[in-house]
Structures are given as structure tokens and as C-alpha cells.
Chain A
């Protein structure tokens, strides 16, 4: 479900319009602008919520926000790869899994 900027600002108490505009300009959030007005997918809404918590509640400065978000994105990317890899390993026969565990130095 897409949200328009006004809806998003109404949904998140702390969120200030001018801040959100800066975040969009600096590509911290990337709303869909095809329809004319910026529209936010659920993932972008959640991202805005995260930025609000970091910035308003945890006093993370604007200049530092991209660094943190970049690291969080990298973490998710890595987690995603780890999951895919683990799923691939799980699909193998037990002896293959055991061999992999052995190489990882556990068991």
C-alpha cells in the first residue's frame, strides 16, 4: 500500500515535513515519483520510521544518518546472502551438510 507525504507525516508524530524533504533530496529515502506526487511504499515508510527514531529520539545527526543507513543496508544484504547460502546448504544431503559444518569448525 502506497502512502502520500501528507499521510506519512500525519502517521509519524515526530516527523517534520522539512526534514523529510531533505531526506528525499539526499536520497536517504526514495519515494516513487512516477505518479507526480511522491508516494511511499511500505518499505520506505518503515525506513522513514527508522530514520525518525535514529534522528529525533537517538540524536543521530543528519550528517551521520547516511553512514548508519548504509551499514544497516549492508547488514541486510549480508543477512540475505547468508540466508540464501544456508538454504542452499540445507537442501543438500546430510553428509554434505556435515562436511560443511566440519569445515566451519563446529560439531
Chain B
């Protein structure tokens, strides 16, 4: 056991009053019954009260100073504190505090720590208590294609630590990934917190995602639209060849089966839905203009009829 003067933080020359004052202050801070949530309190208070037992007794103090006894003899026998019973289910019901048991387990401590930021008490020194490290949150921007196909990224954090993040295939915007044990370290051997990474999926220039389907507007020339054609179209898994049917209009929809996003649950892929957009030649085309001027369609067209009626 430690030097009782050191434990109480008083000089060898301290008066009885100094010693009592020191003890009272330490007892107020560390008495287990006054600090029922503080796991260290019992060990500290045992030292403090053992030291006080020697120094408050003139004879014992004299003998300790003379080297006749050492501090060990003054250790109090294992003391039971009121807190060990008052909340723990011993004793008859109806007296004093509530009696039923509570389980003290790590999960509960962890939950309380998360719920109340440090175990339910206020202002306890963090150094004295085993506590789970805090969770940390990051935002990770990912490209549309990385989110669609999945990838693995190494991220360097502000503190220099690197974190390997696996972006699952079909990751959604604002999806949060939990990386267990990648948060802040625990206190006094408590478990490490978790890292939460929120994915922010950047929009794509051409592709647009709706649920598991990819929407894409594909421009076609007048000739391709009128005559039909085999054209190459991008998908999230690379270009594919698509047949444009003869006589397609702007707005004609084509569906590429299973070229969409793979659903996280069903593992089925969505589709890519193509909307054709006919684009006219950009330069001057007098022959086309002449032809259209003299062209009489076989069937007369009234494309705005519905709008105006």
C-alpha cells in the first residue's frame, strides 16, 4: 500500500485538521456511495480511507512515522458499500431504494455511453473509466459509375489514417456504410468506436438512375430514325449494340434487359431504358429542304390535334 501522506496529499507535518480536511475532500470525490457509477471509486476510496485510518489515530500515526508499522496493516477489511445493495437486488423489499436487479454488461454500458455521452453521469473525468470510443462520421463522394458497379476505395482521413471502404455494387446516394472498429479508440481499454461513411453519389452526365433502372436519352440522326439502324449505346457495364427500329420518333422507348443496377436484396439487375431523340443535321442541307418542300406525306398528320381540342 502507498504512503498515507501521499494518498491524502498532505505533508508529514500536517495537523489533524489538515488531514481531516484532505480526507473529506477526497471522500466527497471518491466515496463509492456518492459516485455509484464510478467504477474506480472503490479502489481509490479504499486507499484514501486506509490512509486516513492511520493518520487520524495519533498512536498509529506516531508508529507509522517511527517506522514501527507500515501502511499495509491499516488496510480496511473488504468493505461492502451501500451502492452494492441499494440498486442490486439484495435486502428486503420496501426499505430504502429500489431493489430489483440490473444486469451490468458491456452492451448496456455501451448503450448508456452512446445515449448519454459518457455513462449517464455528468462531468466525470474520462481518464478513470473504461469507455467505448466515439463513432465518427465521414462523407465520401463517389462517382455514379463506382456506385453502380461497386468498387473498393482507400480513403485518407484528416488525421492521416487510411480507411479501406468497400462500395457495394448498386450503392445508393446517402447510403451509410458502417465500418466496425474504425472510429475513435476507446478509453482505458474500452472498445474502439465505429466509422460511419455516408456515400454521396455524384450525378452522371448521361445516365440517370431511378430505383434499379437506368434512364438514358440517346440521340439518333434523321436517317437512323427513318430507315432504322444498328447503333452502339453506352450502358453502365460498357457499350452494347442496339437496333433502332425503322420509323422511330423522338421519345420512342427501347428497353435493354438486365442492363440496370443490381438490386441489393434480390440480386436481380434492373433495365436500361432508352429514350430516342431525333436530331436534325446541324449544317445547311438545301437538298433535304427542297425535298421536304415538295414532299407530300401519304397520310396527313395532326400531331397537336389532342392538345388543341
Contacts and interface: CB of A to CB of B under 8 A. Distances in A.
A75 B20 CA distance: 27
Interface residues of A, number: 39
A90 B87 contact: no
B83 A42 contact: no
Contact of A76 (B23, B24, B80, B86): B86
A49 B79 contact: yes
Interface in B97-120: 97-100, 102-103, 107-108, 111-112, 114-117, 120
B280 interface: no
Given A46-B85, A53-B31, A82 B120 contact: yes
Contacts of A57: 20, 23-24, 27, 49, 52
B114 A107 contact: yes
Contact of B96 (A47, A59, A84, A90): A47
B75 interface: no
B173 interface: no
Best-buried of A41, A53, A106 by chain B (most CB within 10 Å): A53
Interface string A88-105: 011000000100110010
A80 B24 contact: no
B115 A83 contact: no
A86 B113 CA distance: 11
Interface string A32-56: 1000000001111111011001000
Nearest to A31: B95
Interface residues of B, number: 43
Q: From DSSP, what is the main secondary structure of chain A's interface residues?
A: helix
A42 B80 contact: yes
A73 interface: yes
Contacts of A17: none
B242 interface: no
Contacts of B102: 79-80, 83-84, 87
Interface in A59-77: 59, 69, 72-77
Given A79-B87, A84-B102, A101-B114, A46 B82 contact: yes
Given A46-B82, A72-B86, A82-B120, 9 more contacts: A13-B53, A58-B23, A76-B96, A76-B97, A79-B120, A97-B111, A101-B114, A106-B117, A107-B135
A75 B82 CA distance: 12
A50 B34 CA distance: 10
B221 to A, nearest CB: 52
B28 interface: yes
Given A41-B91, A57-B27, A76-B97, A83 B108 contact: yes
20 contacts: A30-B96, A42-B90, A42-B91, A43-B85, A43-B91, A43-B95, A46-B84, A53-B31, A58-B27, A72-B33, A76-B86, A76-B97, A80-B99, A80-B102, A82-B112, A83-B108, A87-B102, A87-B103, A90-B107, A106-B117
Contact of B91 (A44, A83, A84): A44
The 7 A-B residue pairs whose C-beta atoms are closest, nearest first, are A83-B102, A43-B91, A76-B97, A43-B85, A76-B86, A80-B98, A46-B82
